[in-house]
Structure 1
Amino acid sequence: MSSVKVESVVQHNCKLGESPVWEEKESSLLFVDITDKKVYRWNSLTKELHSVSVGAPVSCVCLRKSGDYMITLGTQFAALNWKNKSVTTIKHVDLDKSNNRFNDGKVDPAGRLFAGTMGEEIRPAVLERQQGSLYTLLPDHSVVKHFDKVDISNGLDWSLDHRTFYYIDSLSYSVDAFDYDLQTGKLSNRRSVYKMEKEESIPDGMCIDSDGKLWVACYNGGRVIRIDPETGKRLQTVKLPVAETTSCSFGGDDYSELYVTSASQGLDEASLSGQPKAGNVFKVIGWFSAHTKGSSALEATHMWERAVVW
């Protein structure tokens, strides 16, 4: 792999930064701090960072075709009006599990919002097991529950042909795949396509590149890895100056920049002094810029600039 450059672009120490999403029309990166209960928007042109406090753990943010954003807030699917700083509940889930919250989520190529839940953590990655489920919020505001007994519902994305759904339940230490029916949103035929190695630690957030390879942030591993879901092989590793790398997403004018969120919570004073950028958002450039020349930018934009349909 040719050389890459890792740069801290949002020098703000999030407690639990997650869910990076590029907003093309604003040249901005959206992300959340779950523990601090805030949604952030960082403008890549002005370098300004703005936030909205939402009053509960907020675990993912995504775009709406009608404007503004959808978020997962506690155990709610909700709409966020950025200008008014207001939140409107769409649907509650896991009503029988008061200690649960949503975690990662993403919009499918047809505009459905997928998101999963988990139990409350005692400390990072330590929690009551199998309390979570994976859900889809549909355009009519109904909710489909795909399966339960999930530990930490995490990274998710779809193959370029939309026929495969990739998913991470973190404590399985596996990246899984399902057959995906884009017309119905149904999942079937679950199987593992990659098993984490010891130094990679816990699989967290995930995204896909224009070659159909997966990028996985490794919590407590201080890196993101590029894997081939067809062969089950790791292709590249990018190390970061922080241990708790949490998620990743492509952005920038030509989607050749990889943005990586991180966390600082759970680190003691010695660890924090050794990694003062813990909780920052990083930009990885170099290899992607060279690689994406000549590739289908339109295809990349179609995959990464998804929005819910209502």
Structure 2
Amino acid sequence: MADPTDRPEPRRVADTHCHTGEGPLYHPDEGVVYFLDIPEADLYRYDPADGSHERVLDAEGAVGGFTIQDSGDLLLFCDGGRIQPWNRDDGLGDPVVESIDGEGNSRFNDVIADPRGRVFCGTMPTPDGEPGTLYRLDTDGSLSVAVEDARLSNGLGFTPDRRHVYFTETEAGRISRYRYDQATGDLSDREPFLDASDLTGHPDGMTVDAEGHVWAAFWDGGRIASYDPEGTERQRVEFPAKKVSAVTFGGPDYDTAYVTTALGPGEGPASTREEEGDGAGALFAVDLGVGGVPEFRSRIETR
């Protein structure tokens, strides 16, 4: 583990009060960080150059994740299985997918584009107890099931050699590693990577840094932590907010980590910062002493 005396200090950079801040992603074309408030369907844009932030979309329903398309547009993954493009000039475009059978009472939660432009996109369990699913959206807009019976689909990331995918299941308290076939997009041979059942908090969003270490956010754990490829913890950074939801790297050199937090709870009215900690619901930045790599872009055909 890293030297405990060397403790990076998170900085609150966008003082939003998100119910469920999630899905931060650096947009290199614009030099900004986009992130979400999932149940409010709010999309925020933070500009590190001047420290400003703004809400750029207030949609209906919920938006659980997004990717950046080759064109620079965003592709939003919403409730009921709806998948829809968006850009700053024209707003929302025609849905690529209108809905998914069986997901009418659910929503997407976390997504990631793969090296070929496909998207892995997971859904939440339904209120009546049906488990979530990890889908694969191919570039032609077709959907297939990648992982069945997912216990709250969450953060995803690729190993540097692109041979494996990490997949977080929050309710199961685990991060798994799957063999990944780049040619077909198929996942196979699941193996355990991190058993978090005895740790404080629940594994949530994640990313993989330039050294191949996994950085996981911990909901109700108040931290992000890095793990080497063997699953050994190497570093952790504590946050004043309890519900730390996701982490990504950004900036021209991808040397700054951006971290979303939440007021929560998972469902229902938002809590308060007195309950959830200073800055809960805000976007933070932190210098970790390690950089990241650009996320892959989606190449999904849109109308």
Task: Output the TM-score relative to the length of structure 1.
Answer: 0.88
Moved more, 144-153 or 251-260: 144-153
Q: How much does 1:131 deviate? A: 2.4
Q: Which has the higher strand share?
A: 1
The residue aligned with 2:74 is 69
Q: How much does 1:82 deviate? A: 2.2
Residue by residue, what CA displacement relative to the aligned partner does 1:206-237 show, whole Å, maximum 9, x if unpaired?
100011110000000000010123x2211111
| Partner residue of 2:295 out of 273, 284, 305 | 305
- 1:23·1:305 contact (CA, 8 Å) conserved in 2? no
Output the CA distance in 1 between the equivalents of 2:128 and 2:195. Answer: 23
Q: 1:272 to 1:88 in 2, by over 3 A?
A: farther
Q: Where does 1:179-190 land on structure 2 (aligned, <5 Å)?
A: 179-190=179-190
Output the CA distance in 1 between the equivalents of 2:106 and 2:123. Answer: 7
- 1:62·1:106 contact (CA, 8 Å) conserved in 2? yes
- 1:176·1:193 contact (CA, 8 Å) conserved in 2? yes
Counterpart of 1:89 in 2: which secondary structure?
coil
AA partner of residue 29 (structure 1) = V
Q: How much does 1:98 deviate? A: 2.4
The residue aligned with 1:138 is 138
Residue by residue, what CA displacement relative to the aligned partner does 1:40-90 show, whole Å, maximum 9, x if unpaired?
111111222222112120011211112211010112121112222224211
Moved more, 16-25 or 88-97: 88-97
The residue aligned with 2:90 is 84
- 1:205·1:247 contact (CA, 8 Å) conserved in 2? yes
Q: Where does 1:280-291 land on structure 2 (aligned, <5 Å)?
A: 280-288=282-290
- 2:106·2:124 contact (CA, 8 Å) conserved in 1? yes
Counterpart of 1:272 in 2: which secondary structure?
helix
Q: Unaligned 5+ residue runs, structure 2?
A: none
Moved more, 62-71 or 211-220: 62-71
Q: How much does 1:20 deviate? A: 0.5
Output the CA distance in 1 between the equivalents of 2:181 and 2:115. Answer: 11
Q: How much does 1:144 deviate? A: 1.5
The residue aligned with 2:200 is 200
The residue aligned with 2:157 is 157
AA partner of residue 88 (structure 2) = W
Output the CA distance in 1 between the equivalents of 2:224 and 2:115. Answer: 24
The residue aligned with 1:272 is 274
User: Which aligned segments of 4 or more residues in structure 1 are displaced greater than 6 angstroms?
Assistant: none
Residue by residue, what CA displacement relative to the aligned partner does 1:180-205 show, whole Å, maximum 9, x if unpaired?
00011001001111111534311100
Q: Which has the higher helix share?
A: 1
Output the CA distance in 2 between the equivalents of 1:197 and 1:97. Answer: 27
- RMSD across aligned positions (CA): 1.8
Q: Unaligned 5+ residue runs, structure 1?
A: 121-126, 293-299
Counterpart of 2:94 in 1: which secondary structure?
strand
Residue by residue, what CA displacement relative to the aligned partner does 1:217-265 show, whole Å, maximum 9, x if unpaired?
0000000010123x22111111001000000000112111111101002
Output the CA distance in 2 between the equivalents of 1:115 and 1:223. Answer: 24
Output the CA distance in 1 between the equivalents of 2:258 and 2:149. Answer: 30
Output the CA distance in 1 between the equivalents of 2:227 and 2:11. Answer: 22
The residue aligned with 1:34 is 38
Counterpart of 1:40 in 2: which secondary structure?
strand
- 2:243·2:276 contact (CA, 8 Å) conserved in 1? no
